[in-house]
Structure 1
């Protein structure tokens, strides 16, 4: 859900504020002194940026124990450059902290030991604990406040949804334990709030830091109503089973009565499971049930439809309503078939888990585990659907139609379960990059680049290659994937390892130039990396400079010598090239649950985005909805062109849509994702047909 993103953003802001609040201490250290030196500093924060300036270029280390030799010291400065040496120390508790520093010059001569002493006295801080974690529902919300020290008076606590105007929270308590309440309106749904605290300890020192729980979200949306529910009778018990496809459910409340019309006054039990076995029944008596979902914010959904069943005198299954007993065997027989496929899937999982070496590596590179997990989820869903046939009043003809439809789904699932990987052939090459390769890449990406910018880009790229000893090792495989239904799929896989491991550089991208003999168009390529951009369709792909591996595949068996034509080039971007790259790009369905994170960049971007973008959030909602409608219209236009045989027009529209999708608010992407994915698959299928 999109509002969860705001929790992450606010957490980043809080973290950054802590870092910005760090003390900064500088000290000049004359390494030629013969006597040991000691210096004491007083701190009022739990972190400090220590800077040591030396009289000459040296390399410094530190230890928390006295008398440790330079070579045995484990403490490394974050910055150790010439005469400047910096280290950020965090998590300092109250009390005395000692650090012992030695520096070594170019002649391997060590300085005398420098002793740095920090006397830390921290102001009072607070932890905030809400009843339901970081979420609050509508109505009265309880907040517990725990301070790090005993307070001399009642602290102040307030909350805000805009970071400007704050509403006070009345609190009471003593010592370090305090409690308060505030009212949340239903109109505040999906808003992100923050707390502000101030307290004074017994020494009169004032503190304002909130170490945890400083941000919360308002969730007043009730869970969905349970409609898929059934009650079944057994000897001396009644089993209730239900299903609700929502992620944020905390538990369920069960209501029970001996008469029809179960309501909220008939509360019986709670359970975290989606099933319940009621043994507090009398044989021969009928009971009525309804179930309601409660989410993690405490919101309660509506009561489910009412079901009933009679506790049996003997153990013969009877449903309150549903399939005739003579048809139950057909359903059970099909369920057994699903279970066989499920057992085979478990065996496939176990088989791949036990593999090692190259096959295990290829299994991970191809992300086959995702295909298996997806198939497992589909199998479970299909089994639920088929089992639900028992509770439906179906004729034999209606049941057979449903079972035939389920069989088609089962066959489709089996086609997607990879059972084995066979390596047909393989080849390994080391790529060599020269000036002509760089020039060719620049002109392919930006043909109208000025001569001056081109020369600058070439020069910087060559310098980057030489300084970092950049190299690429490429492995090519012709593989055959065997699926559970017996079908086989040939695949040509490329895996490139970039050496050495580089840090992110916004001015450098790794450009992959793929010859047309491997793929005529990027639509024929299955790129396994998460973060990438397509610069040209025919095809040239861009990866960030810190990419360690580039992995992609195409269908079919190819000549392994084609790997020699691949060019993987670190390209330095001058301003003109940057502008061109920002206009390119290609829609890709990616998994947002994973990916790389660069703390400094993300922190800066997110802080700016929150301070500016969040204030415009409400205003932008109407504009975003309009964008969704425009995208849906474009998708329809693309499908019409595709159906009419105008493939190039459909492809052009799709590329425009990919950029529109990237610019769409995350909360709105789900409204067009499915339709856009369908268009994407249709275009890829058209490409495959042309390829054949």
Structure 2
């Protein structure tokens, strides 16, 4: 009986069930080309079933090609219905056809339906657009081609046609152009929509995207603005953008344009600085700078927008003539003179209470005028004067002939009245100031010689890495300021004790300059090598990195494995300089400069990098013995262990620089 029941059940499963079904399509008679339209179908049946509706299209674009139907899809209690709608787009202006084939789970067709309509021309279609990729100019032309005559607009933000801010310069037909100027470096996106003559507007924007990679340019400025006089001139180069490597700056004179001279540059944040030396032999020459720089995209620029040329003027202005000194009322003394020659900036006045006035007796200055009134005089004192001219380039002319006059200011009982207290330093104290000026002037001459030696001597790379030219420049600026202070002392009344106090301060500044300003550098030894990275030191560095963290031992081991892959592509080139520095006061210091160039030998870029430097004890006992030239560092242990942070490391590499304040064997320092 059991076997019969099973057989009966099997027979029941294969007996077909008869039922009727239909499918109806509902579509618009007209579909606008390129725009979404909603279509639908509805199934009617007297019995529930599982099946599939297969959809076919002619001149229609749609992602819906079939729709599954199950027993639970239907509504009602019999007859049953099921409806479905979806979106389609017309492809080209012509007839379109949509057909539906309803099949059951066994694949048998239960019903079919087909309908048709028209695809009409609607919004314009953009067939092509440009530019794209990378351009190397600050100007570009937007170019669009449409399938029909249209008016096109564009904007930097994606919005509808009516809200777009700008219309193409040339538009109304099928070709549309718009010129763009003053483009900046970076990615530029422009959104374009068009409207045809029937008023149909594009519902979606076409995007024109490109990268502007403009060649870098430079602006040049001089510490002594053109026209320049003889001496050491600081040159500052400001690039228009971040450069991939050090720029090249050269200059030549028009008399020999083929003989270019290289300017050694050092980076200071966004600027590059170097020095040129102008001699008397360069007088009346026109100099021209030449620049070359490469940005991170590889574009090379050579344009100098400001400061490309400079004029040299080393000729001293002529001597003023017919100088006369006239005593006036209230003790004033008036100077008058005649000057004929090149345009001058101002005149310098020199004064003394004894004959033999020279440059150390500088007293005051006046503008581009041939008259000066000295109001700071003492009664019955004879004053001696000379003057000279200073031209626009700063050249100081020779002193004039000497003249003198006696102040007729009245005094009481041989003493100066209170209201006539001298406004300038008494003549007997001016001598002390002049002696101090001689010290400063001599030291300035030494500084100029040191600057020229560093600029043209050997070991240029070492001088640049140590920033020695900057130290010399700082000393020169300080001395020039001291000269100004000393000149001011002669213009203001002080007692002898007050003056001595001021001169003692200046003496201390001079001594400090002599102790800290480098005079000469002597290279003792240099070594280049490749550092081998021992696993023991790598593990130690990783342990220091995870020190005081809550990472588990498993996390640390996983990190070590990942780091091992990176370490295999790391190369460290070591350059070690052992050298002596002699300062102006004759003292010497022994030092060692260590430069490590770390590069990643892969096409990839490592982001957020921490480099650990474990410095051997025989190189430095503690971090106190080290001056770090690479500033993004942190001392992990005084042992010393130091870490440096970098935003990224790639094939071009990064540098770590530090100075050991003693002489170290280059073989030990290169470990």
Greater RCO (CA < 8 Å, at least 6 residues apart) = 1
Structure of greater Rg: 2
The structure carrying a bigger strand percent of its residues is 2
The structure carrying a bigger helix percent of its residues is 1
Q: Do these two structures clear the TM 0.5 threshold for a shared fold by scoring above it?
A: no
Relative to the length of structure 1, the TM-score reads: 0.38
